[in-house]
Structure 1
Amino acid sequence: MEDVRLRPATLADDDFLYDLHRRTLGDVIEATWGPWNDDVQRQFHQAWFTPETIEIVLVDGQPAGMIQAGPADATTFYVSRIEIAPEVQDRGVGTALFRVLVERAKEAGSSAVELHVLELNRARELYERLGFAVVAVEHPKIRMRLTL
């Protein structure tokens, strides 16, 4: 398995993160809402791009993904976003990241980890394999929970 590490995001990661989002979720976004609209997606990106809440996933020292996660309340650790570049998917990177997130959740005193996944996103298979269960269908998303 590759060396997987995290580093804080910076403003310089803006273009990388936009490109990553398009490469990882572009097909799912198009299948859910229709053709990719660069103007709309740029607006969406600028609205959520807060480097101080994002970590860049490094695989063998190279940027290959991102996570945005933290305590949502006293009992729940929420994964807002996780994106892994297609070229490193299916190589254990996501599983390694979730190990880190579960440890962080436990350290924060959380009793569960939650996330939302688009219904058409194949990442749902990973989450189910890791023990997440569907707790609500909020079309076009599914809310999933891992009880710790």
Structure 2
Amino acid sequence: MENVDLRPATAGDDEFLYDLHRRALGDVIEATWGPWDDDVQREFHRKWFAPETVELVLVGGRQAGMVQAAMIDATTFYISRIEIAPEVQGSGVGTTVLRGLLDRARGSGAHVVELHVLQLNRARDLYERLGFQVVDVEPPKLRMRLVL
């Protein structure tokens, strides 16, 4: 596998991130809420996108995903979003990124890492493989936790 790195997002990454969201999660969103509505999704993206909170995943220097994660209190590291481009899914990129985030959480003094995942999202398998467990069902999402 090529090098996997993270870099801070910039305002110029806006369209890439919107397109990534559609490509990475469009099928899951449609299976959960019905047909993709570009107006609704663009509004969601507009409200969500704050470059200072996002990092791009680079594979061999090319944009291949994004993460949004931070400490939310003295002991909890929360992964708000992680999206990996379909063309690199299944290649170990997601595992590498998540392991890096877990190392970051440990280095920040976290005792637990939490995230939410849509129930139909196949990424749940990856999270479980890395030790996350479902701690609550909040349809259409699951809340998952890993104790460090």
* Pairwise TM-score range, normalised by the shorter structure: over 0.9
Aligned residues: 148
Give the aligned partner of residue 87 of structure 1: 87
Which segment is superposed worse, 93-102 or 50-59?
93-102
Q: Which runs of 4+ in 1 moved over 6 A?
A: none
Instruction: Tell me the TM-score normalised to structure 2 length.
Output: 0.99
Letter in 2 for 1:92: G
> What do you get for the CA RMSD once the two structures are aligned?
0.5
Post-superposition shift, 1:2? Answer: 1.7
The 3-state SS of whatever aligns with 1:90 is coil
Q: Report % sequence identity.
A: 72
CA distance in structure 2 between the partners assigned to 1:99 and 1:27 by the alignment = 26
Instruction: Tell me the TM-score normalised to structure 1 length.
Output: 0.99
Post-superposition shift, 1:103? Answer: 1.1
Post-superposition shift, 1:108? Answer: 1.1
Letter in 2 for 1:84: I
**What stretches of structure 2 of length at least 5 have no aligned partner?**
none
CA distance in structure 2 between the partners assigned to 1:81 and 1:135 by the alignment = 18
The answer to whether 1:19 aligns with 2:11 is no
Give the aligned partner of residue 147 of structure 1: 147
The answer to whether 1:51 aligns with 2:51 is yes
User: After the TM superposition, which residues 37-116 of structure 1 pair with which residues of structure 2 at under 5 Å, given as runs?
Assistant: 37-116=37-116
**What stretches of structure 1 of length at least 5 have no aligned partner?**
none
Post-superposition shift, 1:18? Answer: 0.2
